[in-house]
Structure 1
Amino acid sequence: MKHGEFIRVCSLDEVPAGEARAFTVEGYDIAIFNTGDELYAIENRCPHMGAELAEGEMIDRTVCCHEHGWVIDLETGEVVDQEESGVATFPVQVKDGEILVQLA
């Protein structure tokens, strides 16, 4: 993998609008969220206790962790209303019906 290269994750229809899916790509555990208007890719691990964020409830541009209710901003990866570090975010693009992410 070259620096800055976008890597295929899945086809766009594998992540329907309003839903999220978990994937492992090049050793990274990633959650892809489809808000219907935008796609977001974040680290699939809540910084609180490590729960899978793809299992959480998506509300607008955030995901609420299903374990303890921590809210993560999908665009920035920041934890809302907590003084904790957030999660990694990854640039996303769609090309020819495929979701691609930039890992490094």
Structure 2
Amino acid sequence: MPEHIVGKTSDIDEGTGKTFTIEGQTIAVFNKSGEIFAIEDTCKHKGGSLGEGELDGDTITCPLHGWQYNITNGECLMNPQVKIKNFPVKVENGEISVEV
């Protein structure tokens, strides 16, 4: 999978996320205590942007209806049969690369 630089670690405040479009996919990138994670941005429930959700530890809550996902593996906490894609992330010299 090719790597795409999406920005610098300083672009994403700790405890927040931002969305990026890479190869036609909208991806949410989160800064959890200095660790960077990337997941599919679209909630499987009603299509809300997870990048606009509230991050609490490993859990992102969709701003539309409160569905929750684990940002480390994409698992849905509301329905164990639902999972969103997570993407490998690399940080070098403060730059964030996401493999898509």
Smaller-chain TM-score bracket: over 0.9
Q: CA deviation at 1:84?
A: 4.0
Q: 2: CA distance between counterparts of 1:16 and 1:57?
A: 13
How many residue pairs are counted as aligned between the two chains?
Answer: 100
Q: 1: CA distance between counterparts of 2:58 and 2:80?
A: 19
Q: 1:22-53 CA distances to partner (integer Å, 9 max, x unpaired)?
A: 11112110000101231110011000011000
TM-score calculated relative to the size of structure 2: 0.93
- Tell me, yes or no, if structure 1 residue 24 matches structure 2 residue 27: no
**Could you say if the C-alpha distance between residues 43 and 91 of structure 1 is closer, same or farther in structure 2, counting changes exceeding 3 Å?**
same
- Tell me, yes or no, if structure 1 residue 41 matches structure 2 residue 38: yes
- Tell me, yes or no, if structure 1 residue 57 matches structure 2 residue 57: no
Q: CA deviation at 1:5?
A: 2.8
Report sequence identity in percent. Answer: 36
TM-score calculated relative to the size of structure 1: 0.89
Q: CA deviation at 1:70?
A: 0.5
- What 5-or-longer segments of structure 1 have no aligned partner? none
Structure 2 counterpart SS, 1:79: coil
Aligned to 1:91: 88
- Tell me, yes or no, if structure 1 residue 14 matches structure 2 residue 7: no
* Superposition misfits of 4+ residues, deviation over 2 angstroms: none
- Tell me, yes or no, if structure 1 residue 101 matches structure 2 residue 98: yes
- What 5-or-longer segments of structure 2 have no aligned partner? none
* Aligned equivalent of 1:76, options 70, 73, 86: 73
Q: 1:40-67 CA distances to partner (integer Å, 9 max, x unpaired)?
A: 1001100001100011110100101111
Q: 1: CA distance between counterparts of 2:28 and 2:49?
A: 8
Q: 1: CA distance between counterparts of 2:62 and 2:78?
A: 13
